[in-house]
Structure 1
Amino acid sequence: MTRASWRTRIGFILAAVGSAVGIGNVWRFPWLTAENGGAAFLLLYLLFVVLVGVPGLLGEFVIGRRARSDPIGAFAKLGGRNWRPMGGIALLASVVVLSFYSVVGGWVLRYLLGSATGAYFDAPQQFFAAIDYGLGAVGFHIVFLLLTAAVVYAGVDRGIELATTVMVPGIIVLLVGLAAWAGSLPNAAGGYSFYLSVDWGYLQANFVDVAAAAAGQALFTLSVGAGVMLTYASYLDEDRSLAADGTIIAGLNTLVGLLAGLVIFPVLFSLGVPPGQGGPGALFISLAGAFADLPYSRVIGVTFFGVVTLAALSSAISLFEVPVAYLVDEWGVSRPWATAGVGTLFLATGSIAALSQSLFTLLADTVANLALTVGLLGVLLFDGWVLGRVALAEYESGAGRLARALGRPWLYAIAVVLPVFLAFTGLSSVTTTLGVSVPAVGLLVGAVLAVGVAIAALRRPESVF
């Protein structure tokens, strides 16, 4: 069976950007920014994108392009059958994320229709409470899932590449227009201050919690840890600079996140809506309620939720593709049957999440962060300590002079520095969620891992040094 591949470089880049530019940028990012001090969260988020997200992104690219296989097949092909469970974790992470993601996608579709009719304008909080969970949420989750499956069914080049080539530029153009409009609103300056001016006192007092949330969002928004970027890179059939492509992808993704904030916070502050209100429903309660009080509210609402719909679909497509690629590569299942089987799985898991608020919140917060962290941790350790110089050679293949100069620092960072950081933030996040205020546990585990890495470095110096 001939394996699928991208037709063009820009097609791969836009598909990867589409995966990263999901509702994580315009739903999860504003929600977490509002709950974690505004600019304090933004500062750490940008830092983690550069220092953790981009190296992790390149780590997945290296494995995917080298193996040209799905996550489970890639780890087995490059490291032996004992590494298959590591690919299984990435596969599981994609299932976890899309299981709640498709529910949010259903909310977005509901609000897109509601914007056209004005259904939520009079009572936005009551409207969201009526649609967030239950049989109605299940129905719209299924509609969103069918739209996603239709693109994946069409294939890598005729489906995913074609769709994202249209979606991603559309998202950026619409957000730029909305951001320019939001800047003209009264008291938009208050929104800019909250979003762009760091409260250093707040950051110092809440550093561990803000850092854990920012690190989780950096991984979530770049789609690392769930095998998505590994799978997309496996469709590359030519040598080119992974570092250059990864930097472009991260840069465009970050741009969209920043633009979303430049739309959302000026709107909220212009109408005196508290930015931290609403939790996971903040986008749908606070912002939608703000639209109701603005001129041309229906046009604004349709435009904004049109952007969110495109973003949600582009990211959901990539998550859906991971298990499809597994069935196609490992079991020889045809793409139509693989799409149908995976769609049935997500129909069931997403429906359960749509019926249970407690399960949805658990998946969207703790489980997603933990799964992505563990998935990325496995990628980094595999690159640094199993592949070693092979990973470095793959990274350098097609790279320019500057990228080559950064090759060894990149390998050292993913093998030694970032695993310790991920262990600390992951454990701190879990203990905080469990109500056990002991970030020292995360520090202890990170220290233990650091000792283990140091021992590994002495035993296998050729891997990194």
Structure 2
Amino acid sequence: MSERETWATRAGFILAAVGSAVGLGNIWQFPFKTAQYGGATFLVVYLVAAFGIGLPAMLSEFVIGRKSNLNTISAFERLGYRQWRAAGIVGLLTGFWILSYYSVVGGWVLRYVGGSVTGAYFGDAGAYFGTISAGLPAVALHAVFMALVVGIVAFGIEDGIEKATKLMVPSILVILVALAVWAFTLPGSGPGYAYFLSPDLSQLRLTVGTTGSFPWVTFGGPLAEIIPFAVSQAFFSLSLGMGAMITYASYIDGDESLFGDSVTIVVFNSLIGILAGLVVIPLLFAQGAEPGAGGAGALFVSVASAFATIPFGRVVGFVFFLVVLVAALSSAISLLEVVVSYAVDNYAVSRPQVAAGLGAAIFVLGLPSAWDTAWLTWFDTLAYQLFLPLSVLGILVFTGWVFGRAAVDELLRGTGFGGGMGALWLWTVRTVVLLGVLLTLVLGLITLFGGPDPAIVPPL
């Protein structure tokens, strides 16, 4: 086993973790899911999920990673709980699964960067998307994107991932701010801000009662449908349940405050998601597009159509899709690093070779998604409603009920907090967060496989 790498600086770790979180989950999925599931109502549920569930869950992954200094599977062995390796395996496979179709979407973005320069999508944005999103063109772009990801990961932690994300993350933030200011000037964008920032509170009703001896919960409006997607969006956009945060925390060499780092990451992640919404949703309304209609590709079609009709559309389109590409790469490298880290930690293999081999395997898994967007939608739905909440649930059960006091001790290293803060975090993980993830999983399974009215959730 070769000597294990570490982050060169604390800022490098934070930016890498932010880069992992800030990706297509923020700039593609977040505006798309927000538009599809009620605008500001979805935003409210998402923010509650990100800070109330995502933040404690991220700390759980950080604790496991830093304490063990090993990858998402071997970490449990080093901590003395070999039987819990299954939780790490689920996380690794979830990241592997997500990267396979994530890379296909990254390939779309590559094509749109070039299409912005040439104006290729200006004539008929819908037909352009249909041409590049499936079949041989999508397969080729999927291969190019995966090759870029493999190239960055092959250089290692300090020279590859850390240097790349130090450039990527500030660039994403600066460009999104500029684009949000620009979107504010578009005629007809006003209703987009109302849709995105003014929640309909009638959709957030929740009633608890009993029928005989059985308690039940009724959600008003579409809340039962919003919850699993909003919570899973928080997991997706924060890179939770994929092994990424355990792996990144395993490269920490010091007593930095995990609590401070996680708050920074969640705040930056949420800020960039909101900035993306402030660009995309007003743009859709300015163009007259119906929010949430048309599936996963609708965002590409609608945004591209808008760029085709505005002054300096090629320039703005190039800048927008370039920042989406940078964000996609920053997240994709973290997902590939999860599986590369496991191989490098446990076998006598070189990083470049294993990155190339695993990248090829992920490319093959992504071929159905590249060939037909219906497969991509199925891969994405399964990840959101089953794999992500199931993976996070395993981590929370281990941290809260198995690792317990040792997890608190690791969390408090470098914070200056007393035991009260650690006890509060542990109680939150064991109860509120765990029940929230379990509820998300149940609602997701009901939606995924059908069954009783999803507005009625039986006792767990």
State TM-score, norm by structure 1: 0.93
Unaligned runs of 5+ in 2: 205-219
- Deviation at 1:269? 1.4
- CA shift at 1:429, angstroms? 1.1
| Displacement of 1:404 | 5.5
Correspondence for 1:462: none
Q: Does 334-343 or 209-218 show the bigger shift?
A: 334-343
AA of the residue aligned to 1:55: P
Residue 114 of structure 1 aligns to a residue whose secondary structure is: helix
Say which of 410, 426, 433 aligns to 2:441. 426
1:385 aligns with 2:410: no
Cα contact 1:366–1:430 (8 A) shared by 2: no
Secondary structure of the 1:439 match is coil
Paired position in structure 1 for 2:64: 63
Q: 2:73 aligns to what SS in structure 1? A: helix
**RMSD, aligned CA:** 1.4
Q: Deviations over 1:344-377 (max 9, x none)?
A: 1112111232113332111112234421111111
Is the aligned partner of 1:132 residue 2:147? no
Change (3 A) 1:179 1:404: farther
Aligned to 1:463: none
Aligned to 1:409: 424
Once residues 416 and 115 of structure 2 are traced to their aligned partners in structure 1, the CA distance between those partners, rounded to angstroms, is 49
**TM, length-normalised to structure 2:** 0.94
Contact 1:99 1:349 in 2 (8 A): yes
Conserved? CA contact 2:6–2:158, under 8 Å: yes
Report the Cα distance in structure 2 between the residues aligned to 1:333 and 1:397, rounded to whole angstroms: 33
Instruction: Quote the Cα distance in structure 2 between the aligned partners of 1:381 and 1:441.
Output: 25
Q: Which residue of structure 2 aligns with residue 7 of structure 1?
A: 8
- The CA distance in 2 between the partners of 1:293 and 1:274, in whole Å, is 17
Aligned partner of 1:240 among 240, 250, 256: 256
Q: 2 CA distance for matches of 1:166 and 1:194?
A: 33
Determine the structure 1 residue equivalent to 2:214: none
Q: Does 1:290 align with 2:306?
A: yes
Which letter maps to 2:89? G
Once structures 1 and 2 are overlaid, which stretch shifts more, 44-53 or 272-281? 272-281
Stretch moving more, 328-337 or 238-247: 328-337
Amino acid corresponding to residue 184 of structure 1 in structure 2: T
Contact between 1:428 and 1:438, CA under 8 Å: does it hold in 2? Answer: no
Task: State the SS of the aligned residue for 1:275.
Answer: coil
Give the distance between the partners of 1:131 and 1:93, measured in 2 at CA.
26
Q: Does 1:345 align with 2:361?
A: yes
Query: Is the 1:97–1:363 contact (alpha carbons within 8 Å) kept by the matching residues of 2?
Result: yes
8 Å CA contact 2:224, 2:455 repeated in 1:
no
| 1:279 pairs with 2:295 | yes
How high is the sequence identity, in percent, across the aligned residues?
A: 47
Shift of 1:277: 2.1
User: In the alignment, what sits opposite 1:454?
Assistant: none
| SS of equivalent residue, structure 2 residue 366 | helix
Partner of 1:81: 82
2:210 — aligned with what?
Answer: none
Letter in 2 for 1:432: T
Confirm or deny: 8 A CA contact 1:148 1:313 kept in the other structure: yes
Distance in 1 of aligned mates of 2:266 and 2:385: 19
Deviations 1:366-412 (A, max 9, x none): 234421111111111111111111000000000133x8542211111
Greater Cα shift, 140-149 or 74-83: 74-83
- The DSSP-based 3-state class of the residue aligned with 2:297 is helix
Instruction: Name the aligned partner's letter for residue 59 of structure 1.
Output: S
Match of 1:97 in 2: 98
Q: Structure 1 residues 237, 273: CA separation in 2 closer, same or farther (over 3 Å shift)?
A: same
Deviates more, 1:130-139 or 1:238-247: 130-139
- 1:137-164 Cα offsets, whole Å, 9 max, x none, are 0100000000011100000000000000
Contact 1:65 1:234 in 2 (8 A): yes
| 2:213 is equivalent to residue 212 of structure 1 | no
Deviates more, 1:329-338 or 1:341-350: 329-338
Q: Report the equivalent of 1:151.
A: 152
Q: Partner residue of 1:304? A: 320
Instruction: Give the C-alpha shift of residue 79 in structure 1.
Output: 3.8
Distance 1:218 1:364 in 2: 14
Mapped partners of 2:419, 2:253: distance in 1 = 20
8 Å CA contact 1:149, 1:339 repeated in 2:
yes
CA positional deviation for 1:271: 2.2
Q: Give the distance between the partners of 1:137 and 1:416, measured in 2 at CA.
A: 44
Query: Could you give the per-residue CA deviations for residues 404-455 of structure 1, whole angstroms, max 9, x where no partner exists?
Result: 54221111111222222211111211211223244378543xx2xxxxxxxx
Question: Which moved further from structure 2: 329-338 or 63-72?
Answer: 329-338
Describe the superposition over 1:295-338 as per-residue Cα deviations: whole angstroms up to 9, x where unpaired: 00100100000010000000000000000001011223221221
Query: How far off is 1:341 after superposition?
Result: 1.5
Per-residue deviation, 1:11: 0.3
For the 8 Å contact 1:278–1:286, the answer to whether it is kept is: no
Match in the other structure for 1:162: 163
Relative contact order (C-alpha < 8 Å, sep 6+): which is higher? 2
**Cα distance between partner residues in 2 of 1:339 and 1:367:** 23
Partners of 1:342 and 1:247 in 2: how far apart? 32
Secondary structure (helix, strand or coil) at the match of 1:139 reads helix
CA distance in structure 1 between the aligned counterparts of 2:46 and 2:397, rounded to whole angstroms: 23
* Aligned equivalents of 2:455, 2:292: Cα separation in 1: 28
Q: Which residue of 2 aligns with 1:183?
A: 184
